[in-house]
C-alpha cells in the first residue's frame, strides 16, 4: 500500500479525522483596525449577481469584495518591508503549506493577561519537555482567543491605550525566524503580532523577522483545542493571487482518531 493510499484509507475508515481551523468568512468577520493616518483594508462583503432569475435563470452567483488580510488568512513575505524582495502568495512553495502541526498552549497565560508575550524561554522549555520542533512544521499558538471570534470589540480588545491581544516578544520573533527550521506560525488573533506590538523594537517584530526570513504566518485560527500537542498534519490552502501579499485561506488539520 502506497503512503497516499494509507492516508486515504485512514480517512475513509475514520481512523484519521479532519478538523477545520478556519473561521467562517462573512461581513461579520472581525478585522484589523489601524489607527490614523494608516489606511485600512475593506471588510468582506458579498454581492448577489443572479439567483435563478432573469440575470441568470439556471444559476446563482456572487461577486465578493475583500482585502487580502481578512479573516483566516496567510501573510506572504512581500507583505512586509523586510520581505519586499521575497515571494508573493502565488509563489509560496506548496510543500511548505503542508506539514507537521505543533500546538503550544498559552491559553492560561492569555486569560490572565491579554497582553501576554511569548518569549524564547517558553519555546525552549516546550522543546525540553516534548522534543525539537519538526522540520517544515507549523507552530500553532493556542491562546483561547478564538472564543472572541464572533465579537469584533472583544476580538480586537481595544481601549484608549490600543489593542490588547497576546503575541511575541521581539527577541522571540527574531529567534523563531532565524533559529527554527519551520515553515511558519499560526495564531488565533487578528494578526501574527500582539495588539501592542507597534511599541516594540522593531515595531511588529513577528511580521518583520518572520516574513523577512521567508517564513509565513496564518491568523484567526480556531479549534486548536481539538488538536494534540504534536502528531497532526496541517494543510494551508490560500488563494494563489499573483502579486498578492496575502490571501484568505482554508486551513485543515488531519488527526489520528
> Among residues of the chain, what percentage have pLDDT more than 70?
100
Number of domains in the chain: 1
pLDDT digits 0-9 by tens, 109-125: 999 999 999 999 999 99
Res. 229 pLDDT band, cuts 50 70 90: very high
What is the distance between the alpha carbons of residues 53 and 44, in angstroms, rounded to a whole number?
25
Tell me if 5 is assigned to some domain. Answer: no
**Which has the closest alpha carbon to 234: 73, 103, 130?**
103
pLDDT for 73:
98
Tell me if 47 is assigned to some domain. Answer: no
Tell me if 210 is assigned to some domain. Answer: yes
Q: What is the CA radius of gyration of the chain?
A: 19
Convert 123-134 to b/e letters by CB count within 10 Å (16 or more is b): beebeeeeeebe
| Mean pLDDT value across residues 132-161 | 95
Tell me if 77 is assigned to some domain. Answer: yes
Tell me if 84 is assigned to some domain. Answer: yes
CATH for 92:
3.50.30.50
pLDDT for 160:
87
| E strand map for the chain | 16-20, 45-53, 56-65, 73-75, 98-105, 117-118, 137-142, 158-159, 162-163, 167-168, 182-187, 216-218, 230-238, 246-256
Tell me if 6 is assigned to some domain. Answer: no
Looking at 19, 69, 73, 79, which residue is catalytic? 79
3-state secondary structure of 223: coil
In the predicted structure, residue 255 carries a pLDDT above the cut 90: yes
Residues spanned by the domain of 241: 14-29+68-256
pLDDT for 116:
98
Tell me if 113 is assigned to some domain. Answer: yes
pTM: 0.95
Tell me if 117 is assigned to some domain. Answer: yes
pLDDT for 35:
85
In whole numbers, what is the pLDDT of the chain averaged over residues? 96
Residue 230 appears among annotated catalytic residues: no
Amino acid at each position: 500500500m502506497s503512503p497516499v493510499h494509507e492516508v486515504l484509507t485512514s480517512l475513509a475508515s475514520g481512523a484519521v479525522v479532519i478538523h477545520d481551523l478556519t473561521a467562517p468568512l462573512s461581513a461579520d468577520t472581525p478585522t484589523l483596525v489601524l489607527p490614523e493616518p494608516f489606511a485600512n483594508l475593506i471588510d468582506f462583503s458579498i454581492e448577489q449577481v443572479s439567483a435563478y432569475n432573469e440575470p441568470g435563470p439556471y444559476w446563482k452567483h456572487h461577486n465578493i469584495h475583500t482585502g487580502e488580510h481578512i479573516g483566516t488568512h496567510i501573510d506572504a513575505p512581500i507583505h512586509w518591508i523586510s520581505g519586499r524582495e521575497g515571494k508573493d502568495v502565488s509563489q509560496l512553495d506548496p510543500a511548505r503549506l503542508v506539514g507537521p502541526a505543533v500546538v503550544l498552549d498559552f491559553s492560561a497565560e492569555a486569560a490572565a493577561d491579554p497582553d501576554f508575550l511569548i518569549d524564547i524561554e517558553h519555546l525552549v522549555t516546550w522543546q525540553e519537555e516534548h522534543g525539537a520542533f519538526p522540520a517544515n512544521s507549523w507552530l500553532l499558538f493556542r491562546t483561547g482567543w478564538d472564543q472572541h471570534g464572533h465579537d469584533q470589540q472583544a476580538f480586537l480588545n481595544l481601549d484608549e491605550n490600543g489593542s490588547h491581544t497576546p503575541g511575541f516578544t521581539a527577541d522571540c520573533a527574531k529567534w523563531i525566524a532565524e533559529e527554527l527550521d519551520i515553515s511558519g506560525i499560526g495564531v488565533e488573533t487578528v494578526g501574527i503580532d500582539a495588539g501592542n506590538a507597534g511599541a516594540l523594537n522593531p515595531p511588529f517584530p513577528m511580521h518583520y523577522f518572520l516574513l523577512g526570513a521567508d517564513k509565513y504566518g496564518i491568523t484567526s485560527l480556531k479549534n486548536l483545542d481539538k488538536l494534540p500537542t504534536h502528531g497532526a498534519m496541517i494543510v494551508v490552502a490560500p488563494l494563489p493571487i499573483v502579486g498578492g501579499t496575502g490571501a484568505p485561506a482554508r486551513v485543515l488539520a488531519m488527526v489520528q482518531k
